[in-house]
Amino acid sequence: MDKPFIRKDLSRPGNYYRLLVQFQEPYLTILLSVKYAKTEVDMENAIIRCILDRHCCRDFTDGEIPEEDLETLVEALRWSPSAGNLQPWFFYIVKNKDVKKRLAKAALGQNFIIDAAVLFVICAIPSQSAQVYGKRGSELYCIQDTAAAAQNLFLAATSMGYRACWVGAFDENKVIEALELTPEKRPVAIVPVGPGIKNEKTTERYSVNKICKVID
């Protein structure tokens, strides 16, 4: 008989957001020990587990995201870090299928995003960063900030059992047209989120020695 799923609810002080992690023993333990055999990490840490389990999904299935879960995902976006806490971003949550189709066309025909329950379009507001940080704020900081927000969204979605994909290849002008964006907003990423089929293929990563240098 299969062992029932165990749910752990982890709360951040202040109830900013919650992470819902479901796992099944002993099968998950075996899977993790094989998949991450060369990675010495604490797999009991839910955040680390989500980071290592995250992957881009391009095979979304039918299914919706309940409003409660959607609110949690938005909170994960809202509490992302930003330079000077300027929060130079705006998030579009697209459920409308016609708009999804227009965004897929803008994304160079990446039609798999149409099947996702929701498309998050993450926009930077360069002028907001420029008010404090000038050119560096408008050209760099606001992009860094929205990238951090996208990662928050990815990890929150993964922790809740949803799949996501970072879509950065798109025609900005067509996205602006599809969403009727005001001039101050620049689209940075389209992130489809929803129920999907997990990609079991493990991608390779460079060795630590290749990407890191310790300066004592």
CB atoms within 10 A of CB 82: 18
CB atoms within 10 A of CB 194: 21
Q: Are 149 and 80 in contact (CB under 8 A)?
A: yes
The tens digit of pLDDT for each residue in 144-179 reads 999 999 999 999 999 999 999 999 999 999 999 999
Interval 58-79 mean pLDDT: 94
Radius of gyration over alpha carbons of the chain, in Å? Answer: 19
Closest CA to 88 of 121, 120, 126, 122: 126
For domain 57-198, is the CATH number 3.40.640.10? no
Confidence label for 52 from pLDDT (cuts 50, 70 and 90):
confident
Q: How far apart are CA 55 and CA 196, in angstroms?
A: 11
* DSSP single-letter state for residue 154: H
The tens digit of pLDDT for each residue in 31-51 reads 333 344 434 556 568 788 888
Query: Where in the sequence of the chain do the CATH 3.40.109.10 domains occur?
Result: 57-198
Q: What is the pLDDT of residue 214?
A: 94
In one letter, which amino acid is 12?
A: R
Q: What is the pLDDT of residue 12?
A: 33
Tokens of 57: 């999904």
CB atoms within 10 A of CB 105: 17
Tell whether the model's pLDDT for residue 29 goes beyond 90: no
Tokens of 47: 């955040």
Q: Are 91 and 121 in contact (CB under 8 A)?
A: yes
Give CA torsion, residues 96, 102, 107, 113, to 10 deg.
Answer: 30
State the chain's mean pLDDT as an integer: 83
pTM (predicted TM-score): 0.78
The torsion angles phi and psi of 138, rounded to 5 degrees, stand at -75, -30
Q: Are 96 and 162 in contact (CB under 8 A)?
A: no
Q: How far apart are CA 162 and CA 139, in angstroms?
A: 32
CA distances from 190 to 74, 92, 167 (A): 15, 9, 5
